[in-house]
């Protein structure tokens, strides 16, 4: 069975993320609620990505495997039929158009692109050598080995998030704030597995108010133990109006400077 066929099998029996919703996927009843048809919330030449990628052809898929309480993309991350339904042929044509317009990369984003891996593989199969720019998988990286196997050979640059720290259990930040049980073990395993394949990996870490000790410090220390990694510190946290506690605050300059100082002391390779 070729990669496209193996990927398509997850449309009716999905095991692309640790929730392993199986046949619930076919009815759109899985955790992400993404069905057999992928929806794109928006796509554009985007200058907001990291410097090596921009201008990026950013493709924002609707639906997500996480439930981050502070998500700034909730309007489409939690609404899997938001936007325009797309086929592989439509998306392949648009990628070629954006490439001709000067895109330096094509970035599959979300929500999260994990539920859309069957479409992504089909699109890249259709494009073949006509896609001459790097392909980027920008994900929360709450993935399974099956998902990583399907992406191998199709993705040039991985852009995983490592938002939350290593605490475990229902009160951990990964589960309590992100809705992802066993978050640290799953995501760090996926990053390590991708690194072992020799891929280029740029890890994003979102600085969050009040989460330096539980999330930022241990995440940066773990990343520093992997010299092949590049790291992007994100400072654009925006507090949603419905939250209380530390996450209801804006990110302070002192917290940003503290994280950058730690990153510098640890010798991390920072990408802007």
* pLDDT for 1 beyond 80: no
pLDDT digits (tens, 9 = 90+) for 39-61: 999 999 999 999 999 999 999 99
Domains and CATH numbers, the chain: 3-160 (3.20.20.70)
Tens of pLDDT, residue by residue over 136-183, are 999 999 999 999 999 999 999 999 999 999 998 888 999 999 999 999
Count CA within 13 A, CB hemisphere, residue 154: 23
Strand 200-206 with 230-234, pairing: parallel
3-state secondary structure of 18: coil
The Cα–Cα gap between 150 and 146 comes to 6
The model carries a pTM of: 0.96
């Amino acid at each position: 069975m070729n990669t496209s066929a193996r990927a398509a099998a997850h449309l009716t029996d999905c095991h692309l993320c640790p929730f392993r919703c199986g046949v619930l996927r076919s009815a759109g009843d899985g955790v992400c609620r993404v069905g057999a048809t992928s929806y794109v919330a928006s796509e554009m030449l985007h200058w907001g990505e990291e410097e090596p990628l921009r201008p990026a052809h950013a493709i924002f898929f609707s639906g997500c495997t996480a439930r981050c309480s502070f998500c700034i993309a909730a309007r489409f991350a939690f609404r899997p039929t938001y936007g325009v339904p797309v086929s592989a042929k439509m998306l392949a044509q648009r990628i070629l158009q954006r490439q001709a317009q000067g895109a330096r990369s094509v970035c599959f984003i979300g929500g999260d692109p994990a539920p859309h891996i069957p479409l992504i593989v089909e699109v890249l199969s259709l494009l073949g050598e006509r896609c001459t720019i790097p392909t980027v998988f920008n994900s929360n990286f709450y993935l399974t080995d099956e998902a990583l196997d399907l992406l191998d050979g199709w993705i040039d640059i991985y852009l995983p998030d490592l938002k939350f720290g290593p605490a475990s259990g229902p009160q951990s930040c990964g589960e309590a704030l992100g809705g992802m049980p066993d978050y640290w073990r799953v995501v760090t395993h996926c990053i390590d597995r991708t690194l072992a394949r020799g891929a280029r990996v740029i890890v994003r870490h979102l600085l969050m108010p009040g989460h330096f000790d539980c999330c930022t410090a241990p995440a940066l220390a773990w990343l520093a133990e992997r010299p092949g990694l590049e790291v992007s510190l994100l400072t654009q946290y925006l507090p949603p109006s419905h939250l209380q506690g530390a996450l209801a605050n804006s990110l302070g300059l002192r917290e940003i400077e503290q994280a950058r100082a730690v990153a510098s002391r640890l010798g991390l390779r920072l990408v802007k």
